[in-house]
């Protein structure tokens, strides 16, 4: 642990000395809670799926931290400087420079959002029949790997699958699992290692610098490349600063450069860490992959100097990247998530621990032990929360995991969770209090709660559009 005073430790040292967000509010958007009967109607019409609710019917929206950040006054000023040339926009070169400066990769391909970049890297770097080992799957990432003919193999440490295990780096790759895969299949059957910072599906759990260094060494022995899902990498860097020896005095920006230098490239959903409402990018160090990706981007996204973004979007993104690596910003962002987590933990409500960087994950399996997993406890909890207070969360359990392409059965993941995701720079501490109190009310009524049955199931990424009814 660090000796340097942080906003949190200062509070303990001097009695009640709170920390606060490093910004003030310049423009507001009114929100309101609709009545209980209207919420019941809205939820029924949405098929008990929070993705199908209208935003207007939501009070506090914790569905996702994707594209929901508040931009700064500087970013809004950047919007006015959009160079909307079809080719060679000035804003593209700003973006390219920001990615090279803060992430350190050589070649940049802009995309409309993260999955656009996942599509390009999967098509450019996976040959049909190859395996893609990674530290736990992510929904869109794995699907693009499968559509490219690859097979995802989970090589995260076992601790990640246990929501009560307090390991400080539950996102780490288990190098023995990776070695066993290489031994079994041969290095030429490994497309690349798909490494994610703060593993979303494990509860926002970080990867240590030691782990990525060891991973680099192992991959170098076999000539295997490492591509990073950098979506929430700055949050990962805060955990390294707080928990790993030798990093307490290193700025987030320096930790980010060091971590990325152990990888061969990254894809990014700029809608998360990078503080914009839309955007993404792929960045790589090798010319072979870059050539392929830059050629493919013109088929699927747009010319390689805009990739589906307007010039103004690229300008806001370039500025957002610089703001996203500031230490006070990252501390306040993760600090707000921890504030909510501490309230819930103190009330004995089962959540995934340690609390991750972007969200609180309620452990629906332990909250509803009487609801079988094929009646979707995580989905049920999200529905109950909305009914109680108009707070919107999302399922991260059996619905999100989808079906096994071989057997056709549900995947029944070990983690059956409901996610309260905190947008960046949007809500105040008072909003967090209201959310915590609503979770408590739903938790107290848990014994009377019954599960859901799925009545409509789309083929791809079913959690977005599936519909349910009470059993
Ligand atoms: C959101 C997300 C993606 C996909 O990005 P989009 O911008 O939503 O297309 C990929 N990986 C992770 C970890 C994400 O959270």
* Shortest-distance Cα residue to atom 2 of ligand 1: 269
| 36 lies in some domain | yes
- Domain identity same for 166 and 224: yes
Residue 133 pLDDT more than 80? yes
Chain center to CA of 106: 24
* Mean pLDDT calculated for residue range 237-257: 98
Answer yes or no: is the C-beta of 379 below 6 A from any ligand 1 atom.
Answer: no
- Domain identity same for 189 and 120: yes
State which of 324, 344, 362 marks the end of a domain: 324
Q: Are 187 and 223 in contact (CB under 8 A)?
A: yes
| Predicted local distance difference test score (pLDDT) of residue 8 | 56
- Domain identity same for 240 and 385: no
Average pLDDT of the chain? 96
- Domain identity same for 338 and 294: no
Q: What is the C-alpha separation between 90 and 75, in angstroms, rounded?
A: 16
Q: pTM for the whole thing?
A: 0.93
* Mean pLDDT calculated for residue range 176-196: 98
* Shortest-distance Cα residue to atom 1 of ligand 1: 269
Confidence band, pLDDT 50/70/90 cuts, at residue 12: low
Domain that includes residue 455, residue range: 10-61+327-470
- Domain identity same for 393 and 289: no
State which of 324, 352, 374 marks the end of a domain: 324
| Predicted local distance difference test score (pLDDT) of residue 201 | 85
Residue carrying the six token digits 């005095």: 249
* Mean pLDDT calculated for residue range 460-470: 96
| 3 lies in some domain | no
Q: How far apart are the first and last CA of the chain?
A: 48
**How many distinct helices (H) and strands (E) make up the chain?**
17, 12
Q: What are phi and psi of 55, to 5 degrees?
A: -55, -35
Residue 406 pLDDT more than 70? yes
* Mean pLDDT calculated for residue range 443-451: 98
* Mean pLDDT calculated for residue range 378-406: 96
Residue 258 pLDDT more than 60? yes
- Domain identity same for 342 and 440: yes
Which mutation among 141, 205, 230, 231 tests ligand 1's pocket best, with the greatest number of atoms within 8 A of CB?
231
| 211: Cβ contacts below 8 Å, ≥ 6 apart | 169, 172, 173
* Mean pLDDT calculated for residue range 223-236: 98
| 324: Cβ contacts below 8 Å, ≥ 6 apart | 234, 273, 274, 275, 330
State the DSSP string of 185-251. Answer: H-GGGB--EEEESSBGGGTSB---HHHHHHHHHHHHHHT--EEEE-TTHHHHHHHHHHHSTT-TTS-
Closest CA to 301 of 92, 459, 76: 92
* Shortest-distance Cα residue to atom 14 of ligand 1: 231
| Predicted local distance difference test score (pLDDT) of residue 1 | 43
Q: What is the C-alpha separation between 343 and 386, in angstroms, rounded?
A: 19
Residue carrying the six token digits 């805009």: 306
Q: What are phi and psi of 371, to 5 degrees?
A: -100, 120
Number of domains present in the structure of the chain:
2
Q: How far is the CA of 258 from the centre of ligand 1 (A)?
A: 23
Q: What count of residues does the chain have?
A: 471
Answer yes or no: is the C-beta of 135 below 6 A from any ligand 1 atom.
Answer: no
Q: Domain holding 232: CATH number?
A: 3.40.640.10
Dump pLDDT digits (tens) for 309-338: 999 999 999 999 999 999 999 999 999 999
State which of 291, 324, 357 marks the end of a domain: 324
Confidence band, pLDDT 50/70/90 cuts, at residue 121: very high
Choice among 396, 419, 424, 425 that is catalytic: 396
Dump pLDDT digits (tens) for 290-302: 999 999 999 999 9
Confidence band, pLDDT 50/70/90 cuts, at residue 13: low
Beta bridge partners of 141: none
Q: Domain holding 55: CATH number?
A: 3.90.1150.10
* Mean pLDDT calculated for residue range 38-60: 98
Residue carrying the six token digits 């009330």: 347
| 38 lies in some domain | yes
> Is 313 one of the catalytic residues?
no
The Cα-based distances of 393 to 13, 70, 417 in angstroms read: 35, 19, 11
| 79 lies in some domain | yes
- Domain identity same for 163 and 264: yes
Structure tokens at 253: 């920006």
* Shortest-distance Cα residue to atom 7 of ligand 1: 114
Q: Are 392 and 53 in contact (CB under 8 A)?
A: yes
* Mean pLDDT calculated for residue range 452-458: 97
- Domain identity same for 463 and 388: yes
**What is the largest distance, in Å, between two alpha-carbon atoms of the chain?**
62
| 1 lies in some domain | no
| Predicted local distance difference test score (pLDDT) of residue 2 | 46
* Shortest-distance Cα residue to atom 8 of ligand 1: 114
Which parts of 244-374 fold into alpha helices (H)? 252-260, 287-300, 311-324, 327-346, 364-367
- Domain identity same for 287 and 418: no
| Predicted local distance difference test score (pLDDT) of residue 17 | 85
- Domain identity same for 306 and 374: no
Ligand 1 atom with least separation from CA of 232: 13
Confidence band, pLDDT 50/70/90 cuts, at residue 405: confident
- Domain identity same for 152 and 300: yes
Residue 14 pLDDT more than 90? no
Q: Note if the bond before 54 is cis, omega within 30 degrees.
A: no
Answer yes or no: is the C-beta of 113 below 6 A from any ligand 1 atom.
Answer: yes
Dump pLDDT digits (tens) for 167-177: 999 999 999 99
> Is 65 one of the catalytic residues?
no
- Domain identity same for 230 and 284: yes
Structure tokens at 39: 């919420």
> Is 247 one of the catalytic residues?
no
Answer yes or no: is the C-beta of 140 below 6 A from any ligand 1 atom.
Answer: yes
> Is 24 one of the catalytic residues?
no
């Amino acid at each position: 642990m660090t000796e340097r005073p942080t906003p949190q430790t200062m509070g303990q040292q001097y009695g009640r000395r709170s920390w606060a967000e490093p910004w003030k509010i310049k423009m507001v958007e009114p929100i309101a809670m609709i009545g209980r009967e209207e919420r019941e109607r809205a939820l029924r019409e949405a098929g008990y799926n929070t993705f199908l609710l209208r935003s207007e019917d939501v009070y506090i929206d914790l569905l996702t931290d994707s594209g929901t950040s508040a931009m700064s006054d500087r970013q809004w000023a950047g919007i006015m400087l959009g160079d909307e040339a079809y080719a060679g926009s000035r804003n593209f070169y700003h973006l390219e420079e920001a990615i090279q400066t803060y992430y350190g990769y050589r070649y940049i391909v802009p995309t409309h959002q993260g999955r656009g970049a996942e599509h390009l890297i999967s098509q450019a770097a996976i040959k049909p029949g190859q395996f893609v080992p990674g530290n736990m799957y992510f929904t869109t990432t794995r699907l693009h790997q499968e559509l490219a003919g690859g097979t995802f193999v989970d090589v995260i440490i076992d601790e990640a699958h246990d929501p009560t295990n307090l390991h400080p780096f539950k996102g780490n790759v288990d190098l023995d699992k990776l070695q066993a895969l290489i031994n079994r299949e041969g290095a030429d059957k490994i497309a690349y290692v798909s490494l994610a910072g703060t593993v979303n599906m494990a509860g926002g759990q970080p990867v240590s610098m030691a782990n990525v260094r060891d991973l680099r060494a192992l991959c170098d022995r076999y000539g295997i490349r490492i591509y990073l899902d950098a979506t929430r990498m700055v949050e990962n860097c805060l955990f390294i600063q707080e928990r790993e020896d030798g990093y307490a005095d290193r700025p987030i920006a320096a930790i980010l450069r060091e971590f990325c230098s152990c990888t061969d490239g990254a894809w990014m959903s700029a809608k998360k860490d990078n503080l914009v409402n839309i955007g993404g990018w792929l960045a790589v160090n090798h010319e072979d992959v870059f050539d392929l990706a830059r050629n493919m981007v013109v088929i699927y996204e747009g010319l390689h100097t805009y990739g589906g973004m307007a010039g103004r979007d690229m300008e806001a993104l370039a500025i957002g990247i610089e703001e996203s690596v500031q230490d006070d910003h990252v501390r306040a962002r993760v600090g707000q998530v921890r504030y909510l987590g501490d309230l819930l933990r103190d009330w004995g409500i089962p959540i995934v621990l340690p609390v991750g960087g972007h969200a609180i994950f309620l452990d629906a399996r332990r909250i509803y032990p009487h609801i079988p997993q094929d009646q979707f406890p995580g989905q049920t909890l999200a529905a109950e929360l909305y009914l109680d207070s108009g707070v919107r969360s999302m399922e991260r359990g059996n619905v999100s995991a989808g079906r096994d392409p071989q057997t056709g059965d549900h995947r029944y993941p070990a983690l059956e969770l409901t996610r309260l995701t905190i947008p960046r720079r949007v809500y105040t501490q008072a909003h967090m209090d209201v959310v915590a109190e609503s979770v408590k009310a739903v938790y107290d009524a848990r014994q009377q709660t019954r599960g859901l049955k799925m009545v409509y199931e789309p083929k791809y990424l079913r959690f977005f559009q599936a519909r349910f009814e009470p059993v």
